[in-house]
Chain A
């Protein structure tokens, strides 16, 4: 089982993830229409590019925009969650050992101590996000079971990873559960709202181009 989930199934998961992500990018760009969207995407390129970059970068920095600053606690947890979600799996020592063993190369790694901290941070942040969805009326009202499921899918690899690494009871069970939950997340990315993994950048760039080219950006930079 371990050989299967870290072999063919892992290849399949990464392939689905990669092809799915590329598909979303291509579909998004192909679906842009200057006439329908009413944005002159291919004209005024310096303004479009500047608008897109400013839009992505201001929102990529914690507290970089008024909306992030208006919601300081949420912003803190959302950034911790996403930073942990991205950095931990890529730079974990155990993952890079497997990478070298199976695919012949590895990346820079972080110590297990920091990996533990990041993992705990992701789990705590996930709990916060769930509590927030329940506690705030306007968020609860628009939240569906699907939203909770996505938090679960995102946090599961970290919970199972923590349990496997610290060899709580049945190591074999938890390591397989860990790998499977990671693969579920990779496969879920192209098929669910987790596609915001890449569509965040497409959407942010697009609205940046809209404001940058058409809605006043050629007169004055919008302050996000």
Chain B
């Protein structure tokens, strides 16, 4: 059959469609139907003709097969230097081949492409830094995912995730009401210990509009409370929007560009509605990448900038510590050796490595850099959606070994990871490999160290 009931070329747009997919545990029927999904050659080639411009054409053309990208790729290193894991090979054998054949590829080929695009690349962009020509296989792999999505060859969890964004404007099924309820609940839970604590909703003209990852209201509501308490202690004039509060993008990982645009349009509308001076993103790398770095382009902003100046949480923390808005008790600094995970999306692709070091200088006595570090650091192993795709769990677990070995080499048993994906990957790494490490976001650490002004004490 050309298109299945669950597996087809149409994005998920209704609750019924979403629920049907969710009911298909692990995507059993979905993947079965995918085996018979037709490739629309004309549509595929037409998309490429319109969207594959000189930058990507040049990259595909002038790659000299020198192999310098190999050692830059953590998946190549993790998989015993398998030549099929060389970035150049991965993109030439997929996108390169589709273009050479002018879109005339079959179902088997597209399923191989899907496997490559989601289990052999996390779009970490490290290879771009090591190629003499600056060929960015991560960017091309993102483009390739878009082609796959348009033809229906997308992992089950990514199909669901993109659908979530279209239906909920969030990566999970959290409604605006759920979100507001979570905020109110967190205030109630903490106001006894923190008199006067509030989470202002839809307050106009504040200094900060704060946005979060849907996982926080759904699974880790204490993270919202921690953020509120820290803003409270710092004396910030802040708010959260009731609509446009979620800044992640599984749609970006899925290659659903229309859903990406919908997602950032929702947040940008909140910025315009509330007119904050700044927007601060929670501790999440891909949320920052999607909303602050890529988002303006999806929204059609020629400046490449969001409507309001936007910051990752590490920027706010670094500024609060340097300015004295947050004062830490020096005796409570972390004394054990500790290392920091430089996330791909806000460090290599966001330029915030100095902010991270400012924070570490305030909170740690024995900070140990990973090698390599900063923009040259390796992916945690779970980025680009890898953590969330059951079909590729085995591949993801192999991918974790590079980060595991990097952490072990520092001698530190404690990893600070202000990014939800990195945090998840490192948590899973400990579960799988049992190397005796602990991991943390910044917020709980700061709360343990922060000096609370007298007037705010219970």
Which residues in A have some Cβ–Cβ distance to B below 8 Å?
27-40, 42-44, 55, 59, 66-68, 70-71, 74, 78, 133, 136-144, 147, 193, 195-196, 199-200, 202-204, 206-208, 210, 213-220, 222-224
Contact = CB atoms under 8 A, between A and B. Distances in A.
B308 to A, nearest CB: 16
Given A34-B302, A133-B65, 17 more contacts: A32-B55, A40-B303, A40-B304, A42-B302, A67-B68, A67-B130, A70-B130, A138-B81, A138-B83, A147-B64, A193-B61, A200-B132, A203-B134, A207-B136, A213-B304, A215-B125, A223-B375
Nearest 3 A-B pairs (CB), nearest first? A216-B351, A31-B54, A40-B304
Interface stretch (B70-78, B170-178, B232-240): B70-78
A141 B54 contact: no
Contact of B350 (A39, A40, A206, A219): A219
Give the secondary structure class of A's interface: helix
Contacts of B128: 207
Contacts of A140: 83
A219 B76 contact: no
10 contacts: A38-B294, A38-B298, A42-B302, A43-B303, A70-B71, A142-B92, A216-B350, A218-B351, A220-B353, A222-B129
B248 interface: no
Contacts of A70: 71, 130
B376 to A, nearest CB: 7
Interface string B55-71: 10111011111111011
Contacts of B129: 66-67, 222, 224
B53 A43 contact: no
Contact of B62 (A31, A36, A196): A196
B352 A216 contact: yes
B72 A195 contact: no
A200 B376 CA distance: 22
A210 B136 CA distance: 11
Nearest to B298: A38
A147 B81 CA distance: 22
B127 to A, nearest CB: 10
B83 A137 contact: yes
Given A31-B57, A32-B53, A208-B134, A139 B81 contact: no
Most-contacted residue by chain A among B57, B64, B81, B305 (CB, 10 A)? B64
Interface in B128-162: 128-136
A43 B351 contact: no
Interface string B275-312: 00000000000000000011011101011110000000
Interface residues of B, number: 58
B255 to A, nearest CB: 14
B70 A138 contact: yes
Most chain A beta-carbon contacts within 10 A, residue among B62, B300, B303, B347:
B62
Interface string B339-380: 000000001111111100000000000000000101110000
B417 interface: no
A204 B133 contact: yes
A33 B50 CA distance: 11
Given A213-B304, A222-B351, A28 B54 contact: yes
Interface in B239-271: none
Contacts of B135: 203
A138 B304 contact: no
B323 interface: no
Contact of A215 (B61, B84, B349, B376): B349
B89 interface: yes
B88 interface: yes
Nearest to B142: A38
B61 A195 contact: yes
Contacts of B350: 215-216, 219
B132 A59 contact: yes
A78 B68 CA distance: 12
Contacts of A133: 65
Contacts of A33: 53
Contacts of A68: 132
A36 B349 contact: no
B133 A203 contact: yes
A30 B64 contact: no
Contacts of B331: none
Nearest to B134: A207
Contacts of A215: 125, 293, 348-351
A28 B58 contact: yes
B64 A196 contact: yes
A147 B65 contact: yes
Nearest to A41: B304
B293 A214 contact: yes
Contacts of B374: 223
A66 B376 contact: yes
Nearest to A218: B351
B53 A199 contact: no
A67 B68 CA distance: 7
